[in-house]
Structure 1
Amino acid sequence: MAGRRGPGAATLIAVLAVLGWLVVGGIAGPYSGKLGEVATNDNASFLPADAEATRAQDLAGGFVERESTPALVVYERGSGITDADKQRAAADTARFAQVPGVLGPLPPPIPSQDGQALQVVVPIDEAEGEEIGRVVEELRGIAGGDRDGLTVDVAGPAGLLADLIEVFGAIDGPLLLVTLVVVLVILLIVYRSPVLWLFPLLAAGMSYALASVFVYHLAKNDVIKLNGQAQGILTVLVFGAGTDYALLLIARYREELHRHERPWDAMKTAWRGAAPAIIASGATVIVSLLCLLLSSLNSNRALGPVAAVGIAATLVVMLTFLPALLVLGGRWAFWPRRPRADQADPRADGIWSRVAGFVARRARPVWLVTAAALALLTLGLIQLGITTLGQSDLFTNRTDSVAGQEVIARHYPAGTGSPATIFTNQQAAQEVARVAQGVPGVAAVRPVTGERAGPPEENAPPKVVDGKVQLEATLSDPPDSDGAERAIRDLRLAVHRVAGADAVVGGFTAINVDTSAASTRDRNVIIPVVLIVIAVILALLLRALLAPVLLIATVVLSFLATLGLCALIFRYVFDFPGVDASFPLFAFVFLVALGIDYNIFLMSRVREESVKRGTRAGVLSGLAVTGGVITSAGIVLAATFSALAVLPLVVLVELGVAVAVGVLLDTIVVRSLLVPALSYDIGPKIWWPSRLARTARTGTEAGHAG
């Protein structure tokens, strides 16, 4: 954007830039609808290599010709299963075995002890991958719907996975559409122009297309693992952050159009003023997201680069494509409220000038009261609890797999069809089985024999592979419940104490246990690293040490207040049973990285104004001139993350609500009141140890000090 150019040359450069980006968009655009093709939604594939459940999964490969994921088809009649019901289940079982991907032959239907249910275990080849969803749909088609009082559901790990795949398969369309509509409505309200909204929306769409093409090829070539959760977050993050950057640049461009006659000159000055804050903001988010590479969970490691690619693409587009569009649009882009070259000062009046005046008069009470209010909200953290979401709690609606799991829990040991697997040395197998049977929450233990179908014969010898024996422990509680997870932990403690056993416990529930433990470890490692990284970036941007420390402290306080408020919302408004194990870490990374954005936008302008006017006057001037645009940006980001609520997944609804609530707190309370009041109260010392902290005080600062 540098150098003085004539109107013709400036227009030509802008036209060439726009045409070049349109070509890029034409190539990259189709990839935004193809991300689902390279997404993986298998929990086990995301476990760390050293997890016990991962080792168990490796051992399991030697005991079967082909590894499988079980689907459980359950039939229930409250008045008791009839002969006709048994015949129907037997006929269905024969048809299930013929479905491509099902590992037959299948055992006969298993009746419940109370005579009110039948259960068919259908192992599905794990090699099917995402095609497990197709196999489950075929099973559901064969089983048919409820009939004459007999209910039929397909549950188990395969049923849950199929329901997740169906939900994530709908991300590309509905989520993108809702996000676009939300951004469009807010831009129309903010700009009150039938033209201007088009520019940031086009740029955000271009950002998403550019990000999609990179993410697609990285996932396709196994450089990263993409799952549905990361895919959904990528959509709202690119549109939310992209619109934020656009709002900041457009606001500075409008301001400079009052000072310059030619749009090119106005954009050149606006770009120089806004680009450092935008780049610092994007870099903060990118580096914070890349800290997720320190995670032991592949799913977390995947989200980091996926989202970082999205932000990087957004930065490039918003600093090249958007300025070119705005230059071509000139003043007419703002019609009907076209800015004139009249040297008007946007700080002269308006609500944010009045807010700045209020902060100046009551600085210390303002920051003390707002800090106390945020601290009070943190008390809600005691409601967050330690209960994590089970697999059947993941959905906001009652899916077929959830209904089936409820039937299984009513009539069978709830862990039937999804047992814990224990691998032990052959010589210690009997002792391990005896110890396992005595663990609370374990309903039954049996060895795996060489037979493929049907119940094992009495005293059938166990199958031995490389000196190892596999035992199956049926749990009393549903495999995704807190009770089952406690049983797995107790089971591991018990069998690990058996001398010479070298026992390893795996299975569906063990995967959940190890995932939760890895999430806790990741939270303890990554959060401090993110804080240090952000502090370094802020110190470089503001050329100070005290200001970054205070800014991070305010954002952390805002994060804890958000979690406390969300805990109350989740429990008393949405009635959610708990939070996902990854929720605190994801909420922290997004809230702190995005929340610090608004402080960067504010404080970079405050520093710019402080050099000219003095610190306290600079605080008031920076607040007045950035208040409107930053508030609009916060509302856009909150609204775009709220779009995650259209997906029937509790974890994404919780993340969307948390980011929306946290961003609004940061925008309205922290950035508008707490940070300006604290900075004003401290005065020039806020820039310690830079030279700006030692400059002669202006009359405003001297008067305040006196």
Structure 2
Amino acid sequence: MAAGRSRWTATLVAVAVVLGWLVVGGIAGPYSGKLGEVATNDNASFLPADAEATRAQDLAAGFVDRESTPALVVYERTGGITPADQQRIQADAARFAQVPGVIGPLPPPIVSQDKQAAQVIVPIDSAEGEQIRTVVDELRNIAGPDRDGLTVDVAGPAGLLGDLIEVFSAIDGPLLLVTLVVVLIILLIVYRSPVLWIFPLLAAGMSYSLAAVVVYVLADNDVVKLNGQAQGILTVLVFGAGTDYALLLIARYREELHRHERPWDAMKAAWKGAAPAIIASGATVIVSLLCLLLSSLNSNRALGPVSAVGIAATLLVMLTFLPALLVLGGRWAFWPRRPRHDDADPRTEHGIWGRIAGFVARRARTVWVVTAVVLAALAIGVTQLGATTLGQSQLFTQRTDSVAGQEVIDRHFPAGTGSPATVFTAQAAAQRVAQVAQGVRGVASVAPLGQRGENAPPEENAPPKVVDGRVQLNVTLADPPDSNGAEQTIRDLREAVHAVPGADAVVGGFTAINVDTADASVRDRNVIIPVVLLVIAVILALLLRALVAPVLLIATVVLSFLATLGLCALLFRYVFDFPGVDQSFPLFAFVFLVALGIDYNIFLMSRVREESVRRGTRAGVLAGLAVTGGVITSAGIVLAATFSALAVLPLVVLVELGVAVAVGVLLDTIVVRSLLVPALAYDIGPKVWWPSRLSRSHREGDRAGAGVDRA
């Protein structure tokens, strides 16, 4: 009777937990499709407050009634712009000025010197924010399709931003759908059960809903600044990490069902065995992501908390909701391969990993030396990884309207037309600054902002507008505003005008924003990477109660990271034909690869330590590898596949990040966690646990070769 009451109590508790989470899911669920409403994608708002481009923005606010983001409507006819074309362009410009959000009056259309192209500069109120896409769409509707050989495209900063917002709008739908399908397929393959896949997928969906509502509230109240990149990463991170944690818990639960008759008792044992590793893993990822708060870029500082919220929500759900579901499912959840209460050794269900463990034991030193050499060889490919800021035509994986328009501008105009650099200087030194700026290589023209403002037609010999003793100079660049050439011109321009005595010159504009963002990315990489490594070392030392093991594990993770970068550099250059990587790529790749890669170290070594206490270190290594190899590999495949889903977004930066995480995780699980780490730990023996008491144990399982046959 006592057993019966205990069973009913356990069932009621599980039902209560499940119902409670379903209520939470019902409330939080709708927010998973509303994150796009609170996302912002304005690059300038991500700059640090002390950046020169930020100071220039503050000064620019005094020279205009309203800050604007220019769209460039570009017309091209290879045989020359005809009078009929000019009439159409004039009519279009008149209609552009009437669009809500456009700041009029518009400057007159500009015809290229070769008479083959014309462009209309359409300033859009920057206060429109995410609605800039709506204004750009209306401009494209007015301009209409190409006609009779006359092509028309909407480009410039506003056109680019409109295309980016359109790309990120796919996150709430296609990206989420692709991620769900990928996880579902892999779970069906891993479990070979028509039932069991439901539990981790339902829990992962609950995790995403909980994370979405928290992030929505934080972003809506300006606590964090959510952007499309962070939103996309949140989606794949929650489903990837959540499925990983579910795989680990379910694998342990299956083991314990062999030892316990009642599912509730099996779950208690499984939770006790798996929860410390899951919590340590999640804590490592959360702390690593929060290190991004040290970034000087607001976009990076937002990504850290947003992703950390996702992992925290995933931990909470996977350690409460998922166990309750599994208890209610009992052994039937594993149908048709239901585990029996037979006290079987869990290693008997992992035959292939038992054989791999035996191979590692027989050739431990050879295995770790060969794998380390192979990884080091791959790391040489890092020399092929060129860190460049991708230009507008290189940002997308497909040709967009803004890209096509920029190509027309490059062919017929000074490429910086419509998106000039801005120089703010003291009035007394303005003439000298203008002369110096004109002499900088890569500068096409320099003109002061007139009294009537930047949108008014230019006036001959008109005096410049003066605000608080300063003058604004508009500097048109010869190169496209988002090219490497334009960025070098900005650096040279700053050096030149800063040297003018008494000018107190400040250089800003679209290209200057890119320059300051790139510089901040380099600084962030140099600061954050060492901090992340230190934080992970401390967490590993506390979890494993040792110093040698954490050092070895971090060394393997760093080696794996460098090998991944090297392999990706070769793939990007010779397979995908990408033009380069963004400055932010190495930092993001490091944070996600190291934080997530260390998960598998934790999953493996926490189980190895548990087995080492009972069997001895070397036998513990073999037992730990045999029972966790399958689940870790499955988890790695799931995570790699979910990050690969980022490829549905046609942005080179996110595709590169998705490929890097997928390649790195597979390399980590198949090579590092299956061969390198077990072979190293086996070869070193008990000393791997130094200075803990376990390092001084001398059991039969500590001897080299112990347990090879049994594994």
State the match for 1:287 in structure 2: 287
State the match for 2:91 in structure 1: 91
Letter of the structure 2 residue corresponding to residue 405 of structure 1: Q
Residue deviations 1:439-466 (CA, integer Å, cap 9, x gap): 0000000000112445422221110000
Unaligned runs of 5+ in 1: none
State the match for 1:51 in structure 2: 51
1:361 aligns with 2:342: no
Shift of 1:702: 6.0
Whole-angstrom CA distance in 1 between matches of 2:61 and 2:24: 45
Shift of 1:4: 11
Letter of the structure 2 residue corresponding to residue 261 of structure 1: E
Shift of 1:388: 2.4
State the match for 1:153 in structure 2: 153
State the match for 1:61 in structure 2: 61
Whole-angstrom CA distance in 2 between matches of 1:389 and 1:584: 14
Whole-angstrom CA distance in 2 between matches of 1:603 and 1:41: 41
Structure 2 matches for 1:525-536, cutoff 5 A?
Answer: 525-536=527-538
Secondary structure, aligned partner of 2:347: coil
Structure 2 matches for 1:598-637, cutoff 5 A?
Answer: 598-637=600-639
State the match for 2:481 in structure 1: 479
Match of 2:521 among 505, 519, 522: 519
Whole-angstrom CA distance in 1 between matches of 2:277 and 2:392: 42
Using the size of structure 2 for normalisation, the TM-score is 0.98
Whole-angstrom CA distance in 1 between matches of 2:475 and 2:418: 10
Structure 2 matches for 1:138-177, cutoff 5 A?
Answer: 138-177=138-177
Residue deviations 1:118-164 (CA, integer Å, cap 9, x gap): 01000001111111100000000000010000000000000000000
CA contact (8 A) 1:160 1:392 kept: no
Whole-angstrom CA distance in 2 between matches of 1:528 and 1:10: 46
Letter of the structure 2 residue corresponding to residue 370 of structure 1: T
Shift of 1:319: 0.2
Secondary structure, aligned partner of 1:347: helix
Shift of 1:183: 0.2
Whole-angstrom CA distance in 2 between matches of 1:135 and 1:61: 22
1:580 aligns with 2:582: yes
State the match for 1:434 in structure 2: 435
1:684 aligns with 2:682: no
Higher mean C-alpha deviation, range 443-452 or range 534-543: 443-452
Match of 1:663 among 662, 665, 669: 665
Letter of the structure 1 residue corresponding to residue 110 of structure 2: I
CA contact (8 A) 2:685 2:702 kept: no
Whole-angstrom CA distance in 2 between matches of 1:173 and 1:623: 39
State the match for 2:79 in structure 1: 79
Higher mean C-alpha deviation, range 263-272 or range 384-393: 384-393
Shift of 1:113: 0.2
Letter of the structure 1 residue corresponding to residue 364 of structure 2: A
Secondary structure, aligned partner of 1:226: coil
Shift of 1:699: 5.4
Shift of 1:696: 1.9
1:134 aligns with 2:134: yes
CA contact (8 A) 1:609 1:618 kept: yes
CA contact (8 A) 1:558 1:666 kept: yes
Letter of the structure 2 residue corresponding to residue 374 of structure 1: L
Secondary structure, aligned partner of 1:424: strand
Structure 2 matches for 1:342-421, cutoff 5 A?
Answer: 342-348=342-348, 350-421=351-422
Whole-angstrom CA distance in 2 between matches of 1:159 and 1:300: 24
Letter of the structure 1 residue corresponding to residue 679 of structure 2: A
CA contact (8 A) 2:258 2:344 kept: yes
Whole-angstrom CA distance in 2 between matches of 1:268 and 1:386: 49
Residue deviations 1:597-634 (CA, integer Å, cap 9, x gap): 00100000000000000000000000000000000000
State the identity as a percent.
Answer: 85
State the match for 2:573 in structure 1: 571
CA contact (8 A) 1:364 1:677 kept: yes
Residue deviations 1:654-681 (CA, integer Å, cap 9, x gap): 0000000000000000000000000000
Q: Taking structure 1 as reference, are residues 73 and 674 closer, same or farther at Cα in structure 2, changes over 3 Å only? A: same
Shift of 1:346: 2.4
Secondary structure, aligned partner of 2:703: helix
State the match for 1:18 in structure 2: 18
Whole-angstrom CA distance in 1 between matches of 2:532 and 2:7: 45
State the match for 1:40 in structure 2: 40
Secondary structure, aligned partner of 1:75: strand
Whole-angstrom CA distance in 2 between matches of 1:478 and 1:454: 24
Using the size of structure 1 for normalisation, the TM-score is 0.99
CA contact (8 A) 1:97 1:104 kept: yes
CA contact (8 A) 1:422 1:473 kept: yes
CA contact (8 A) 1:76 1:150 kept: yes
Secondary structure, aligned partner of 1:287: helix
State the match for 1:341 in structure 2: 341
Whole-angstrom CA distance in 2 between matches of 1:675 and 1:420: 52
Letter of the structure 2 residue corresponding to residue 63 of structure 1: F
Secondary structure, aligned partner of 2:474: strand
Secondary structure, aligned partner of 2:71: strand
State the match for 1:540 in structure 2: 542
Whole-angstrom CA distance in 1 between matches of 2:170 and 2:615: 53
Structure 2 matches for 1:176-191, cutoff 5 A?
Answer: 176-191=176-191
Letter of the structure 2 residue corresponding to residue 557 of structure 1: L
Whole-angstrom CA distance in 2 between matches of 1:700 and 1:111: 82
User: When the two structures are aligned, how many residues end up with a matched partner?
Assistant: 703
Secondary structure, aligned partner of 1:41: coil
Shift of 1:386: 3.1
State the match for 1:315 in structure 2: 315
Letter of the structure 2 residue corresponding to residue 432 of structure 1: V
Unaligned runs of 5+ in 2: none
Whole-angstrom CA distance in 2 between matches of 1:698 and 1:494: 74
Shift of 1:108: 1.4
CA contact (8 A) 2:105 2:456 kept: no
1:465 aligns with 2:464: no
Alignment RMSD: 1.2
CA contact (8 A) 1:49 1:55 kept: yes
State the match for 1:199 in structure 2: 199
Letter of the structure 1 residue corresponding to residue 381 of structure 2: G
Letter of the structure 2 residue corresponding to residue 377 of structure 1: L
Letter of the structure 2 residue corresponding to residue 418 of structure 1: S
State the match for 2:124 in structure 1: 124
Whole-angstrom CA distance in 1 between matches of 2:362 and 2:391: 52
